[in-house]
């Protein structure tokens, strides 16, 4: 059994391959082995390939919108961005979506792709992402494309390693069709994942059967978050239509409780010269005089938006959670600067100290503060991506740019 099949990171839903009984129910089991056993794979039937979505949509007053996040390796992110951002710009323009990729974090092997827009546009955009990821990286001497060997790669960040086994020629005889099978690592908040799985796994089994895809959810949470990876494998068009149904499920998944779950972002390394420090979004607890205390570190450039105009945002947070929140003042002497906690980019952080007599309320305030921070990080990432795209377009349209190109 290979390393992937022995990785304890998945709850696997396997569709029955019993051809003698076409109506056989899906089977819930463990991850399939990679030793060539035909009964361990889900077949990709040709009739599962869904035709691309047409551009003509029924007339509606307002189309529902959705925002999805996808986990990428550094090489995958570079592939999606393309030369001078050409590929991601094409996806953005053709599908009318907001799409961007988080900045590289020193010491991290992953980046996050964020895509927002109408349900159909986002699904089609992510289908294009799968298409781009399927493009060959290498060619032989005759110029023929060599198959990608992504499944053989081993990443230190194990969430980047595929949970599902690669599709085999036992499932799809045509090598060209086999090369069209792609994978998407969708990031889903844990509370919503149960709705996608459904009662007794009925919903996720229905998606597998209807669209001819393989779906597996990671057992582990992404670090310091309440999110998990939902890995989808199949033809790009099948993944597109699966995403449409998943988006509908998420939109209709009404959560009556306040969502305090933490979202995942590539981590900033703790400075080696300050081992007692922590990174943005990290925290610790202390008990003093029978009160609970939590400390959240916020990068300096995000302090203003966390506080809000005239302090309204932090005041509302204090009132809602019935806690006391003290913000560290930015009055450090020059001699103190070397001792301040900084992130991997060298930006100083400030302490937001949350205090209260009820631990649950302190935890709620901490979670809300972290959620506000993660939302702002994602918003700025999308804004920066759009600004870079606009700058690149202006440069390409300028006469000077064309003159330099001629030279």
Give residue-wise pLDDT tens across range 299-351: 888 999 999 988 889 998 998 888 999 988 876 555 455 546 665 566 788 88
* 364: its two tokens: 């709620």
Predicted pLDDT of residue 42: 40
Predicted pLDDT of residue 331: 64
Every domain range in the chain assigned CATH 3.30.310.210: 3-54+63-252
Distance CA 143, CA 156 (A): 32
Query: Could you write out the DSSP letters of every residue in 246-302?
Result: HHHHHHH----S---PPPP-PPPPPPTT-TT---TT-EEEEEETTEEEEEEEEEHHH
Mean pLDDT of the chain: 75
Predicted pLDDT of residue 340: 62
Q: What CATH number labels 283-380? A: 3.30.1370.10
Distance CA 131, CA 235 (A): 9
Which segments of the chain have a pLDDT < 70? 1-62, 137-149, 254-261, 267-291, 331-346, 398-407
Distance CA 271, CA 348 (A): 11
The architecture CATH gives domain 3-54+63-252: 2-Layer Sandwich (3.30)
Predicted pLDDT of residue 161: 93
CA distances from 261 to 306, 348, 390 (A): 18, 26, 34
Predicted pLDDT of residue 156: 86
Distance CA 61, CA 145 (A): 46
The model's pLDDT over 229-252, given as tens digits with 9 standing for 90+, comes to: 999 999 999 999 999 999 999 988
Predicted pLDDT of residue 380: 86
Predicted pLDDT of residue 188: 95
Predicted pLDDT of residue 375: 86
Predicted pLDDT of residue 56: 53
Predicted TM-score (pTM) of the model is 0.56
Every domain range in the chain assigned CATH 3.30.1370.10: 283-380
Predicted pLDDT of residue 240: 97
Neighbours of 377 (CB within 10 A): 18
């Amino acid at each position: 059994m290979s390393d992937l099949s022995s990785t304890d990171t998945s709850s696997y839903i396997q569709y029955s391959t019993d051809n003698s009984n076409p109506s056989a129910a899906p089977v819930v089991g463990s991850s399939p082995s990679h030793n060539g056993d035909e009964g361990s794979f889900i077949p990709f039937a040709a009739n599962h390939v869904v035709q691309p979505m047409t551009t003509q949509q029924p007339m509606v007053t307002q189309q529902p919108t959705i925002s999805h996040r996808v986990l990428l390796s550094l090489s995958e992110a570079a592939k999606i961005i393309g030369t001078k951002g050409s590929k991601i710009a094409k996806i953005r323009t053709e599908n009318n979506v907001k799409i961007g990729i988080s900045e590289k974090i020193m010491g991290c092997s992953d980046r996050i792709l964020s895509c927002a827009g109408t349900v159909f546009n986002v699904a089609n955009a992510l289908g294009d992402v799968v298409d781009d990821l399927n493009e060959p990286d290498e060619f032989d001497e005759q110029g023929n494309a060599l198959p990608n060997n992504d499944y053989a790669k081993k990443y230190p960040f194990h969430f980047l390693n595929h949970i599902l086994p690669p599709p085999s020629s036992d499932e799809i005889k045509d090598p060209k069709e086999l090369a069209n099978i792609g994978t998407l690592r969708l990031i889903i908040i844990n509370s919503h994942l149960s709705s996608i799985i459904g009662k007794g796994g009925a919903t996720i089994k229905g998606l597998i059967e209807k669209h001819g895809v393989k779906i597996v959810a990671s057992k582990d949470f992404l670090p310091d978050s309440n999110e998990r990876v939902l890995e989808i494998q199949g033809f790009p068009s099948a993944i597109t239509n699966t995403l449409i149904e998943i988006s509908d499920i998420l939109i209709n998944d009404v959560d009556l409780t306040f969502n305090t779950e933490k979202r995942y972002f590539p981590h900033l390394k703790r400075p080696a010269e300050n081992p007692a420090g922590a990174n943005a979004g990290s925290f610790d607890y202390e008990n003093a005089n029978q009160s609970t205390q939590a400390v959240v570190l916020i990068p300096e450039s995000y302090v203003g938006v966390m506080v809000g105009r005239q302090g309204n945002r932090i005041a509302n947070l204090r009132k809602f959670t019935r806690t006391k929140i003290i913000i560290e003042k930015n009055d450090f002497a020059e001699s103190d600067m070397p001792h301040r906690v900084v992130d991997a980019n060298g930006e100083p952080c400030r302490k937001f100290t949350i205090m209260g007599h009820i631990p649950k309320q302190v935890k709620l305030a901490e979670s809300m503060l972290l959620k506000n921070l993660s939302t702002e990080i994602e918003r700025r990432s999308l804004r920066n991506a759009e600004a870079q795209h606009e700058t690149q377009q202006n440069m390409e349209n300028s006469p000077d740019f064309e003159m330099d190109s001629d030279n």
